[in-house]
Amino acid sequence: SSRLDSEVEEALLSPSLPGTLGREGDTPGEPPTVVRFDDVSKVYNGATTKAVDGVSLDIRAGEFFSILGPSGSGKTSCLRMIAGFEQPSSGRILLDGVDVQGIPPYRRDVNTVFQNYALFPHMSIEANVSYPLRMHRVAKHEIAERVAETLALVEMEELRMRFPHQLSGGQRQRAALARALVGRPKVLLLDEPLGALDLQLRQQMQLALKQLQRDVGITFVYVTHDQGEALSMSDRMAVMSAGHIEQVGTPREVYFHPNTPFVAGFIGKANLGRGTVVLESGAAVGHWGGISFPMAADTPLGPCAFSLRHESVSLSDGAGDITVRGTVEEVVFLGDSSEVMVAVDGMTLVAKAPAHIGFALSNGQAITASFKATEVVRIDG
Ligand code: ADP
Ligand code: MG
């Protein structure tokens, strides 16, 4: 669309020439914050709900930072406010410590890779990639040098004379990346950039993107609804739901210590339910359905939510310290594994089991499941 084209051009005209690669941080030892959301909300014209609702966030120099959330949770809106295509309704966005309100996209040291690549169809790949430098009237020899360097970075040197329609989806994506990187923006914004690729290519590109980001040291803000992508590539990630941030942390923190039932349910596959923690003979004990298990001594008492990952529930003898008896309700074959639903004391516990174990089970059969008490996560609320 023409709106998109003009956005692409604006985004490509970011002012960061010559490059800011390898710039030292403002505070020795601590990477500076390059993107800050300060209580940012966004209400679109005519909308009754906030697309973005009180988001505060610090993204540091050199980070691969992902924003993960389901469709409609406000990820793209956040990205577009960083780029300057949308304005916050309230709150502030700071780039490199400067409030960017009123600063147009082309004057922000930020570039965007769009999901649909948005390459100029009538230009060769080389012309596409050199375009931002030509617009900035960079000297010819420097353009040649930087285009060559950037095409090498994305392994597209051989294809530089081709036109976009002569490339595969993955190649187009790499060309779009090169065009966004050639001006060496301080921050690269990527909005579901691999969404149009098939699974295998997507996984290859995930690795390539992560390596590329490490090589160039540019801060990446990566929007995706795909948890696998966020978990495998990010240094840190924010999980969004309905316009607000549920949790910010490293992939490990978010995966193993979800702060909210939403995060526990959205990332990975987990048994989720309500229960309570009570003091019994001086020790904290969790009760969840008919199951009880010891909790750490400092666990807050009272009602809470519990989460236990499918892969934390074992159907082999002696794997966990808490053993429950139940019956097989259902077995779902997933290819590399099976999901086994076990009816236990009025609740269903789902176990991720090796496929061959799933094959050997039939509905209604008695079964013993076990888990480690330490793998049960207590969640507020
Ligand atoms: P995501 O990228 O996570 O799918 P978006 O930021 O695109 O989410 O959208 C968040 C919410 O804002 C959605 O309810 C969406 O319908 C709404 N929205 C997005 N863009 C606009 C717009 N230009 N005008 C009105 N509503 C919008
Ligand atoms: Mg989106």
Between vectors from CA 248 to CA 246 and to CA 252, what angle results, nearest 5°? 115
> Which atom of ligand 1 is closest in space to residue 77's alpha carbon?
6
Contact 193, 160 (CB under 8 A): no
How confident is the prediction along the chain (381 residues), in pLDDT tens digits per residue? 455 567 767 766 665 443 333 333 345 667 899 999 999 999 999 999 999 999 999 999 999 999 999 999 999 999 999 999 999 999 999 999 999 999 999 899 999 998 777 899 999 999 999 999 999 899 999 999 999 999 998 889 999 999 999 999 889 989 999 999 998 899 999 999 988 788 888 888 888 889 889 988 999 999 999 999 999 999 999 999 999 999 999 999 999 999 999 999 999 899 999 999 999 999 999 999 999 999 999 999 999 999 999 999 999 877 789 999 999 999 999 999 999 999 998 899 999 999 999 899 999 999 999 999 999 999 987
Q: How far is the CA of 190 from the centre of ligand 2 (A)?
A: 10
- With the most atoms of ligand 1 within 8 angstroms of its CB, the residue from 42, 44, 85 to mutate is 44
Q: What ranges in the chain are assigned the alpha helix state H?
A: 2-12, 75-83, 125-135, 140-153, 169-181, 199-216, 227-233, 251-256, 261-266, 355-359
Q: What is the largest CA-CA distance in the chain?
A: 79
Measured from the alpha carbon of residue 42, the closest ligand is: 1
Q: How far is the CA of 194 from the centre of ligand 2 (A)?
A: 13
Tokens encoding 261: 């039932």
> Which atom of ligand 1 is closest in space to residue 86's alpha carbon?
23
Q: How far is the CA of 280 from the centre of ligand 2 (A)?
A: 48
CA distance 227 to 232: 8
- With the most atoms of ligand 1 within 8 angstroms of its CB, the residue from 76, 226, 244 to mutate is 76
Ion ligand 2, residue ranges at CB < 5 A: 76
Could you tell me how many residues make up the chain? 381
Q: How far is the CA of 75 from the centre of ligand 1 (A)?
A: 8
Which residues lie with the beta carbon below 6 Å from any ligand 1 atom?
44, 47, 51, 69, 71-77
Q: Indicate the pTM of the whole model.
A: 0.87
CA-closest residue to ligand 1 atom 5? 74
Q: How far is the CA of 69 from the centre of ligand 1 (A)?
A: 12
Q: How far is the CA of 347 from the centre of ligand 1 (A)?
A: 37
Q: How far is the CA of 222 from the centre of ligand 2 (A)?
A: 11
Measured from the alpha carbon of residue 72, the closest ligand is: 1
In 3D space, the residue among 222, 199, 181, 261 whose CA is nearest the CA of residue 11 turns out to be 181
DSSP letter assigned to residue 335: S
